[in-house]
Amino acid sequence: MEHRQLVIIGAGAAGLTAAIYGRRAGLDTLVLERGLYGGMINSTAEVENYPGTKRVTGMALAAAFREQAESFGPEFRSCGVQRVVLRGGRDGKVVVTDAGEISADALIIASGAEFSKVGCEGEEKFLGKGVSYCAVCDGAFYDGAPVAVIGGGNAAVEEAEYLTQFASRVYIIHRREEFRADASIVERVLSNTKIEPVLGCVVDEIYGGDMVEGVRVTRLGTGEKKRILTEGVFIFVGIKPTADFLEGSPIERSKSGWIITDDKMETSIDGVFAAGDIREKFLRQVVTAAGDGAAAAMAAYEYISNLKYFEDALFGHPHAYALLTSSIVPEHISLARDAEDWKKSSHAHIVFIDAHRSRRVMDELGVSELPSLVELKDGVTVRVAGASSLDDVINFVREVAP
């Protein structure tokens, strides 16, 4: 089976940034992507809120990300990821693709998200030409112009309110006779004189010439049709993570399927990280995705460096001891410091492991509680014991190595 140090699933802003940082850190990096490099930003007509660029098309910014990532020399591979197999152990992260299987020391999932579509005529045709799925990205382009928002949940109503900063009028079109959003939000938003609700209606068509000129809606129940003149159409009928390949995996996710991470982008599985829109997070923008990618890559580098250290100092040594503690428990920190001081005067080969940051090693050594001591011979655990004091450490080691 092919093996790589770092495998990145997805080549959007998060994945490409992770590739840049991974290669700069010297990691053998493979990026897997089944579609367009740059991800959802390709569907944005213009971007004016990415730092360092006053205004650029989404496709141009995506190309710039790809070009910069390529300059550092990661390998890019066009393929579809079918599933991720997490078996535990040093070679336990396997990505199954339609072009073969790849194992990895560390894995970054940056597969992004997908906007739910209305499915009406003209939606695809005018994407980037008046149709948008992101008010924060594109709202400023409609200064003084009428816009329509399709949807009735919290996201649709809140984005409609955001758009009133720019638009002359905001129509909120929803198929039901009342909004699904929280009542407090609806009350606040509908008090804005720029907002006009269009309830009990569905959008049949988004029409125009080169750009959007309006929408045609049908009132449910009566079949009455009418046209609403609008230069922009913002669709908020749902967003979902691109994560079908994670079905059945042990990676912790929210009820809606978003991957849960800590601030280092690490998931519930050691050595598996997530970055960008696939994460459970507050804001999904290209700038936040890029930040996630950088953090994930550096956390992966730290993980792989620790992995190599353990391979050499612990599993690769003929006779070694390990003291496992947690860096967030004061008593453990004190014990580790005392043991490090004692080690200087002893002849034992003791490796100190922060099990809070290296849960994988804890599992691999067969340790279930902390603090613990482990003796290994030729990389195999032969003895495990609890440790509550420096005397426990000294007695454990001196049973074999006085």
- Give whole-number Cα distances, 330 to 47, 325, 334, 373, in Å: 48, 10, 6, 18
Helix axes 154-163, 183-190, angle to 10 degrees: 20
Residues belonging to the chain: 402
What value does the CA radius of gyration of the chain take, rounded to a whole number of Å? Answer: 27
Question: DSSP code of 387?
Answer: -
Dist. CA 125–CA 50, nearest whole Å: 26
Dist. CA 83–CA 28, nearest whole Å: 22
Question: DSSP code of 273?
Answer: E
Question: DSSP code of 202?
Answer: E
Give strand ranges (E) for 133-200.
Answer: 146-150, 169-174, 195-199
Dist. CA 95–CA 105, nearest whole Å: 11
Among all residues, which ones are annotated catalytic? 134, 137-138
**The token pair that represents 142 in the structure block:** 């409609």
Residue 274 near residue 296, CB atoms below 8 Å:
yes
Dist. CA 136–CA 314, nearest whole Å: 50
Residue 212 near residue 200, CB atoms below 8 Å:
no
Sign, CA dihedral 70-92-94-14, equals negative
Q: Is 307 helix (H, G, I), strand (E, B) or coil?
A: helix
The residue type at 395: N
Beta bridge partners of 36: none
